[in-house]
Amino acid sequence: MTAGRALLVVVALVACGDDKKAAPKVDECQVYLDKARPVITEMTAKAGMSFGQAEQATFVRECRASKHKEPLFRCVVDAADEAAVRACYVATPSK
C-alpha cells in the first residue's frame, strides 16, 4: 500500500468516526427553555414578574437537578413550533 493510499484510508476512518461513541447528549432543560421562552416571558410579564437571564439560569439549573419531569416538560420538548408549545400549556394538566 502506498503512503498516499494509506493516508486516504486513515482520513476515511477518522471521518467516519467510531460507531461506539455516543452522540452528544441533548440538554433537554435548555431545549425546554429555548422553546418555551416566548410563552414563559409573556406569562411572567402578565403577572408583573421578570424572566430575565438570572431567572432563566435558575430555571435551567433547577431543571437539570430535578429527576421528575412533569407531562408539560415532555410536551414542550417534543413540540414542533411555538403554536405547539402554547397548546402544551393549555392542554397539559399539572400535578
49 vs 24, more confident: 49
pTM (2 d.p.): 0.69
Integer Cα distance of 4 and 13 in angstroms = 14
Q: Which triple of cell numbers denotes residue 1?
A: 500500500
Mean local confidence (pLDDT), 61-83: 93
Mean local confidence (pLDDT), 57-71: 92
The pLDDT value given to residue 69: 85
Closest to 32 (Cα-Cα) out of 90, 84, 91: 84
Spell out the residues 6+ positions from residue 9 whose beta carbon is closer than 8 angstroms to its own.
1
Mean local confidence (pLDDT), 42-67: 95
Integer Cα distance of 86 and 92 in angstroms = 10
Report how far Cα 9 is from the mean position of its chain's Cα atoms. Answer: 36
